[in-house]
Structure 1
């Protein structure tokens, strides 16, 4: 039997974290003329390395296939853009960034973050693998190169554009099938005295808050601070500080510097490592039991939808995020239980969700139809979306959240 190997330490992957069955690529939204064509489903079987404890999904799909034509544009989330603006302002002031500095962002998407540095007169470079998304960034005045980051591409980019005072990698570290090569790329991009910051969902919060829908083929690994620090160290980067963020249901912002200039880590690093250890994340046994939590979420959501259908009440969705497609496919939900969903992104409107073939409409459809329930799929934007949908209560409609547990509000 073929032995899967850990992508960080090369140990044999013999342990299961959770098995979610088969699912299509979560961002592969379908046009109407492809609804009768075959779809490819891939395993969502997440393993944990018994040696280094990295939780990971085998690379069933190469990154080039996932990101060649990408449907996610960061700027359609107001709260995420505001989060980026706050970060840009604070870090620029802290580091004293100005016209002679350089900020490089990896997986820069549509320029949602770098545009705030451009407004301050700070030179920027975006590194974005999806050409269609990079073109939007360029149209906004954000210099962007279409490239997958690795050790070699990082070296070449640094030769062309210079090494950066600040390298940003937001919500991309879980997306890379080779974290060792990617970490070397980050090290190649940053100045010896520079700073790298990375944001990614925290495995501790994923487990605590049952956020299993954040598991999909774009996310090759799920980091604790301990495993992230080990991965960064392969590229010669040392974690010097960490912040806990509320974004994406609970994320970390890790600060790392080249080993020669890193210095001692802050007390925040030790405190968070201690919290992870107390939660069991520094042992293999501490990762077990998550599959039981996942089963309860599926059972409760399907019970609700079957009951609503039996009572003749209509349920529609709000949002078409990748995480929603994991949830819907894992639960086997189709248009007979969720009539449609809506999304602000015009790149998704008029298309159909992968696997489930639930249609995606503009948000105005909800106001026209006045459904009984709206299932909010991007629960990580709960406050923002609850405000956008507060008028639903005027016709007696209610919002539904499936994670971390079923809630009708």
Structure 2
């Protein structure tokens, strides 16, 4: 009997598969060197698409508690991301006039990388962050008050009861991480002040398909979001999307702006960009199941090309290492079956990941200085969305003829 799950938003039985990446471990479950003998759980990594509401999604296999309660992703390690957050703060303060009388709430506030910019302007801030270890860094190092909780209807009611309803309720790269999306969006409706504004940023499904970004699929990402799907989900909960921006972050993201459907104001009138985005996604084919189901073939082709490059380089006596033990890299190496027979080791700036193995394939992770000790021929940039930042920081590899390689959308040796 074939297994068919239900859509997490509209409960429609799911009949279409966008891509099947086989069995994979949890992408942020790095294995300490001393735990090398321990077994790891692997789960199916299969993306389904709902024909009724157009939500692309994985099934839930692990509870959010198991995934996010002790998390090794700290936003502040990416300088370009911190700068992105600063510019957002400037733009939002100017556009909506937030001041000392406003309350800004960020969901999944991580280590305070974003709220620190509002705090510096004297605007009251509050972070809602489920990972206690990360929230502690925000409190202790940046003075950002943080509530250690998952966000949903119950947490929203608590915020309102304690006088923390939001003038600006925002979250970056969190919506995809929510298994109960109705509880989450229902919470937004409750926690937002009558004239408040919501913004969310998330990787854009259209870019994922168009640019073959299958390595952004991992178990922490329960949903893969289009504007059309998010608009339907927000409308169902009494929230209207009034503006949208396309961003270069995370390989191409959307920033959506929302408000209470019943509270249209001069600053929250629906912009022309909303209709333009609907048209863009429709003409790309996001209302056509064939667009999704043909994606799987593209993914298989990329796997073959990457393995061909790595095998040929190895057979020619070349050495290859990886840069960036990011979650997308974990998906890529596990799906492609890349182990330390093809990539000697991976380096990462985060001390929290060093002296661990990549989950599943068990490639060891060291600090970036290791590259200058071993002088590899190729450095495979796993977080390809940061290729400019990484190739700039590691430019010295060219002194011994080292070259950078990116695997997505096609295997490319950078000049």
TM-score bracket for this pair, using the shorter chain length: over 0.9
Matches of 2:310 and 2:316 in 1, distance apart?
10
Q: What residue in structure 2 maps to residue 318 of structure 1?
A: 323
The reply to whether residue 203 of structure 1 matches residue 205 of structure 2 is yes
- Aligned-partner SS, 2:356: coil
**Two-structure CA RMSD over aligned residues (Å):** 1.0
Q: 1:368 aligns with which of 368, 373, 390?
A: 373
- Aligned-partner SS, 2:195: strand
TM-aligned CA deviation for residue 262 of structure 1 = 3.4
Q: What residue in structure 2 maps to residue 64 of structure 1?
A: 65
Matches of 1:57 and 1:224 in 2, distance apart?
15
- Aligned-partner SS, 1:260: coil
- Aligned-partner SS, 1:287: helix
Q: 1:271 aligns with which of 272, 276, 288?
A: 276
Q: What residue in structure 1 maps to residue 32 of structure 2?
A: 31
TM-aligned CA deviation for residue 283 of structure 1 = 2.1
Q: 1:238 aligns with which of 221, 237, 240?
A: 240
Matches of 2:183 and 2:91 in 1, distance apart?
30
1:17-42 superposed Cα distances (whole Å, 9 cap, x missing partner): 11000000000001112211111000
The reply to whether residue 248 of structure 1 matches residue 253 of structure 2 is no
1:63-96 superposed Cα distances (whole Å, 9 cap, x missing partner): 1110011010000000000000000111112211
Matches of 1:135 and 1:236 in 2, distance apart?
34
Cα–Cα, structure 1 residues 96 and 202, in superposed 2: closer, same or farther, change >3 Å?
same
Structure 2, unaligned runs of 5 or more: none
Q: How do 1:337-376 residues align onto structure 2 when only pairs under 5 Å count?
A: 337-376=342-381
- Aligned-partner SS, 1:325: helix
Cα–Cα, structure 1 residues 161 and 34, in superposed 2: closer, same or farther, change >3 Å?
farther
- Preserved contact between residue 147 and residue 153 of structure 1 (Cα < 8 Å): yes
TM-aligned CA deviation for residue 3 of structure 1 = 4.0
- Preserved contact between residue 16 and residue 293 of structure 2 (Cα < 8 Å): no
- Aligned-partner SS, 1:110: coil
- Preserved contact between residue 180 and residue 234 of structure 1 (Cα < 8 Å): no
Matches of 2:319 and 2:47 in 1, distance apart?
34
Q: What residue in structure 2 maps to residue 309 of structure 1?
A: 314
Alignment size in residue pairs:
409
TM-aligned CA deviation for residue 50 of structure 1 = 1.8
The reply to whether residue 179 of structure 1 matches residue 184 of structure 2 is no
- Give the alignment's TM-score, normalised by structure 2: 0.97
Q: What residue in structure 1 maps to residue 216 of structure 2?
A: 214
Q: What residue in structure 2 maps to residue 382 of structure 1?
A: 387
Cα–Cα, structure 1 residues 180 and 262, in superposed 2: closer, same or farther, change >3 Å?
farther
Matches of 1:235 and 1:368 in 2, distance apart?
55
The reply to whether residue 110 of structure 1 matches residue 115 of structure 2 is no
Matches of 2:235 and 2:148 in 1, distance apart?
26
1:107-141 superposed Cα distances (whole Å, 9 cap, x missing partner): 00000000011111111000001111000000110
Q: What residue in structure 1 maps to residue 134 of structure 2?
A: 133
- Give the alignment's TM-score, normalised by structure 1: 0.98
